[in-house]
Structures are given as C-alpha cells and as structure tokens.
Amino acid sequence: MELFVSAVGLVLIFEGLPYFIAPLAAKNMAAFMAQTDPRVLRVGGFLLMLTGLGILYVFRGD
C-alpha cells in the first residue's frame, strides 16, 4: 500500500508540474489537444502506457 500511495503522489507531482512551471504552454497544449482527433489521443495514451509498463518491467524485474 505504501508503494501505491507513493506512486500516486509522484504522478500528482508530475501532472501538476507543467501547470506550475509554464501555465501558458499548458493552456496552449490543452487547446491543441481539444482539436486533436480522439483516436490519435487514444493511440498516444496507449503508447505511453506501454512505455510505462516496459520501464516497470525492465527496472522492477521482480
């Protein structure tokens, strides 16, 4: 459970970072994403998830 809570905390830090560091760029990216085809966003999200799973598999290796 401790690992899960730590992971959620880390995700929240990384999710909030762009809005803190460059809020205007984050708004521009949100506007760009609003105009992007949902299928493209879905494929991009899937690729990011696969990359994350690959990283966990390689570096956790349990």
Both structure tokens of 33: 């994403």
pLDDT score recorded for residue 60: 85
How many angstroms separate the CA atoms of 30 and 43, rounded?
17
What's the pTM?
0.73
pLDDT band at 48 (very low <50, low <70, confident <90, very high): very high
Longest CA–CA span in the chain (Å) reads 41
Region of poorest pLDDT, from 21-25, 36-40, 47-51, 57-61: 57-61
- pLDDT of residue 55 exceeding 80, the answer is yes
Q: How confident is the model at residue 62 (pLDDT cuts 50, 70, 90)?
A: low
Mean pLDDT score of the chain, rounded to an integer?
Answer: 94
* Domain assignments of the chain as residue spans, ordered by start: 2-60
